[in-house]
Chain A
Amino acid sequence: MSNVEAPRVAVLDRLDESTDGLRLRAPELSASTTLSHAQRIGSVLAVLALVACAVAQPKLTALALVALATIIYTVSIGYRALLYWRSVTRPSVIRVSDTEALAVPEADLPIYTILIPAFREPDVVAPLFRALEQIDYPREKLEVRLLLEADDVPTRAAATAAAPPSFVEIVAVPPADPRTKPKALNYGIHGARGDIICIYDIEDEPDRLQLRRAAVALAAQPIEIACLQGQLAFRNTDQNVITRWFTLEYHLWFTQYLPGLVATGAPVPLGGTSNHFRRAALADAGAWDPYNVTEDADLGLRLHRAGYRTLVLESVTLEEANTDFVNWVKQRSRWLKGYLQTWAVHMRHPKRLWDQLGPSAFVEFNMFVGGTPILALLNPIFWAMTLMWLVARPAFVQAMFVGPIYYLSLLTWLGGNFVLMFLWFMAAEELDRPRLRRAAATVPVYWVMMSIAAVKALVQLVVDPSYWEKTTHGLEQSGGSPPLVSEGSEHAVPTGTVGDG
């Protein structure tokens, strides 16, 4: 091999590893195929059985399906309330004060690698560099890799023109399918020096002490704690009603549901940014699955299956909330598609998963990762039935809701939905902004949007499961109200000092 060929071969090897590493080493954990052979057969048989039942006993079949859905709804709502309760009664968020974060001598800090994948984001590169300059971490121990597709000329040009800081390396990822963020991450991690690996999105603005906090926290935790998930918040909370809904949703997720999952010992579906990994654990778990469009959720599962755990770090990263309906649907459909992928992949061997996770974590995985998109898909069906009943009182609707199922579904519909809405009101109350309370009152519209995204996700899962629906950034408006964050973070804004009437 010549000297010219050697680097090219190395690049290709690295690309192959990034793309096919997990698929070759652990095919049962790769989303390169959505359904395994057994799952495909099982699905076909299930559909055939359902059709046969529907033909032979249509009324009974409909009744059984409605009963099953009602039970799923009831359990799901109760589970979310339980997570909320657990997040309060078993606090599980790691707090590292500014003093503690700054007390560690620089010599004792570990080497940190930050991976920032980006694709077609020329407008957001310069702000990224400014945000990176704010990070308080010794530069000689900081390695930032901006992962750009080699054929993404505008973004590469913008990055070069923006004069990246000295600790930032621009890595050109060779174009190859699947063209996904996790593929880029796998490529970017090769040769990284860091003992701790961290992921950010290109539009992120992390708490300047976040790396220090994570380093201190990981040093204090047992080795089984392989990952810390930072909290996310939005800069453009008040831009429009979509950003307000998103703000409430994220607040509930990062302050209640996620800590609740940690408190219950359930596997944690990671967010795709502000994750801080011990490098060895990341390698042990197989790094990212390039075929999974929620590679973060999937990695959280694999870490848990490998015996590792994730905690929540009280440190906020600001990012941009989606402001546009179409853009939001693209992003959410990718998330829901990824959840379906993740669920399908990890349920290939249910017995093995049960043994690795344990009974309660197994159930919680199914309820959260599988249940979220499935319920979003079921919602329109039941909304349609409710509407039909209110308007026309068709007999077939009444026939499907009899006896205990009727009462349970009535309780779930009225009481359950109200409880869910009230959780949003509680989030709004905690953040103390009038517009957020009004947004909470209209959250059922947001649920409709989720169902739209879920339908799109299901279609794409069949047609193009690994297609990465790119989210457009840079749509936030400048100015407006300051972002809302929790009190302990660098970005803390005291509640009550900002209002919009």
Chain B
Amino acid sequence: MADTALVTDLAVLEPLSSLETSPAPAPAPMLGITRRQAFWLTIAALVVYVHVALWIRYGLHYFIGDAISRNYSARMIVFGRRPTLTAMGFYWMPLPALAQVPLVILLEPFHAAAFAGPLSTAIFGALTVRVLCALTGLLAVPRRTALLLVALYAFNPVVIFNCANGMSESASLFFLAVAMYGFFAWERNDNMVFMAMLAFGLAGAMACRYEILVLAPAVALLAGIRRRGLRRGLPTAVVIALPAAFVMAVWMLACKVIKGSWLIFLHGGVAAGQGGNGATAAPPVPGVSGDLVTSLAYCIRTTLRFSPALVPLVPVLLALALRRGVSPIVPVVAAAPFALFQVYLLSKSQSQGDARYFESTVLFVAIATLWWCSSRRERSGPMTPAPFVRGSIGATMLAVGALTGTLSLADPAVTAIVNEHQVFRPALGLAEPDPAGAIYDHHLAVTKAVDAELDAHPGDVLVDPGGSQFELLHTRHPKRFVIDVDLDYLPDLGDNGSLVRYALTADPPAGSLGFVGGWKKVFSIAGTALYEHDVTT
């Protein structure tokens, strides 16, 4: 990206001394991060993210079940019994799993395909840093301020964790960063390619997370209003939102064609073998009573744990937006759906209020801070003090956010869902009462035992993905496993007797592998059992 090129043609906007004979003009301030600096900052971020990912996975033995699930999906796409794209699953948006496929192919020969997830999030995270570096040039942020602010984002422990955990936030934030760049670039350079960047950035994010269903139209509308005003902005907004809408439409079509339901992703409880016709009720969240008020209060509290800078930033940006147009509030509007989505779900008792849903706001706070620190303000004022002051305030805000976010993720009360404290407490040198290692080691031990048993019992194995993710992730026999996306799979275990000889399931069997009869247990360990089809019955 032409960030250095953009730097050179920006006017230096400093007040002139009017009457005195001027000394030789001061050299133009350096604006934006140079390409070389951006390169090294990106590499540094990547190294840190990968290092932390390795430490989390193989040092602490920490994992998140959803990340494991996406990783195994990627592995099954390529190395499953019948390699098929449908193994990507139909619960989450597919891009985070699909993005791991090339990495799975690369890592499989080294028996390290399980690391494809954290590696993919590390790469996306580093690319996000690169986009932010380019954004500093576009927004004409003084160079030192730009370097400091981007570094504070890149090395924020919350961000590092998100870029090392194999989940979907990192991928979505990369595309959203691209979209934000497109927005501001289009504002400055009236070229349609930047509109396309904005539109396809939103589409890429849509392929990662469902919150973008709200975010994309909101940002598109702001972009339309920015370009053509309130009355005529709607058609432009529709064009901008089209790619994201297309992604969602194709996804729903795929769900309908393959799984028989346009909205199968809303029925995750059914897909996981639980009864009912909708998502099951989530466990109660402390402080939330299943209504909008308490849900909103919870979401605001949790958001401010990671992005306390929103408190001063939002009113300042709103005030600037009233004077300068919609651009200042775009990052804030983009951040809002991540929290608002949870407000809605919590009010319906359909969410556990996981802290990670609110961590994504950190990126938008960083972007909002960069915008505020832009040197393109003509004059200083109460809401736009001198560049040095703004840079100092911005850095302080981001640093405080990093601190509060880190401390929050070290608090077991806040991180009861995916237990991030199992990572942050050791990182901070605090005692960890519930080490993750035991859980991971337990699963690995089970997997190894199952693998050894499979070696002793050659033949195809029917597997319930919901209950056997670890086996699917770590097995050395992926082609022996018949999973639900294989065309000849049937939901009831008993009906598959002619298909496979063995079945791997929970002990006792549950979910889609309903135990009917004619199967005998040959091996059991820690809630996992291997059944053999009993041809004598």
Binding site for B on A (CB under 8 A): 84-85, 88, 407, 414, 418, 422, 425-430, 432, 434, 437, 496
Contacts and interface: CB of A to CB of B under 8 A. Distances in A.
Contacts of A496: 228, 232
Contacts of B431: none
B509 interface: no
B236 interface: yes
Given A88-B191, A426-B196, 20 more contacts: A84-B193, A85-B193, A88-B192, A88-B193, A418-B243, A418-B246, A422-B199, A422-B242, A425-B242, A426-B192, A426-B195, A426-B239, A427-B192, A429-B195, A429-B239, A430-B192, A432-B228, A437-B235, A437-B239, A496-B232
B250 A422 contact: no
Contact of B192 (A414, A429, A434, A437): A429
Interface in B312-361: none
A429 B236 contact: yes
Contacts of B191: 88
A290 B243 CA distance: 46
Nearest to B236: A429
Interface in B228-258: 228, 232, 235-236, 238-239, 242-243, 246, 250
Nearest to A410: B85
B134 to A, nearest CB: 14
Interface of B: 85, 191-193, 195-196, 199, 228, 232, 235-236, 238-239, 242-243, 246, 250
A422 B243 contact: yes
28 contacts: A84-B193, A85-B193, A88-B191, A88-B192, A88-B193, A407-B85, A414-B250, A418-B243, A418-B246, A422-B196, A422-B199, A422-B242, A422-B243, A425-B242, A426-B195, A426-B196, A426-B239, A427-B192, A428-B239, A429-B192, A429-B236, A429-B239, A432-B228, A434-B235, A437-B238, A437-B239, A496-B228, A496-B232
Contacts, number: 33
B144 to A, nearest CB: 29
A426 B238 CA distance: 12
A410 B170 CA distance: 27
Contacts of B195: 426, 429
Contacts of A425: 239, 242
A281 to B, nearest CB: 33
Contacts of A422: 196, 199, 242-243
A30 B236 CA distance: 48
A85 B85 CA distance: 30
Contacts of A432: 228
Contacts of A84: 193
A58 to B, nearest CB: 25
The 4 closest A-B pairs by CB, nearest first: A88-B193, A426-B192, A425-B239, A429-B239
Contacts of A427: 192
Contacts of B246: 418
A432 B195 CA distance: 14
Contacts of B85: 407
A140 B524 CA distance: 102
A486 to B, nearest CB: 13
A260 B289 CA distance: 59
Q: Which of B196, B235, B250 has the most CB of A within 10 A?
A: B196
A443 to B, nearest CB: 13
Contacts of A429: 192, 195, 236, 239
B224 to A, nearest CB: 10
Contacts of A437: 235, 238-239
A418 B239 CA distance: 12
A425 B192 CA distance: 10
A84 B192 CA distance: 10
Contacts of A407: 85
A241 B199 CA distance: 26
A428 B235 CA distance: 11
A422 B242 CA distance: 8
A434 B234 CA distance: 11
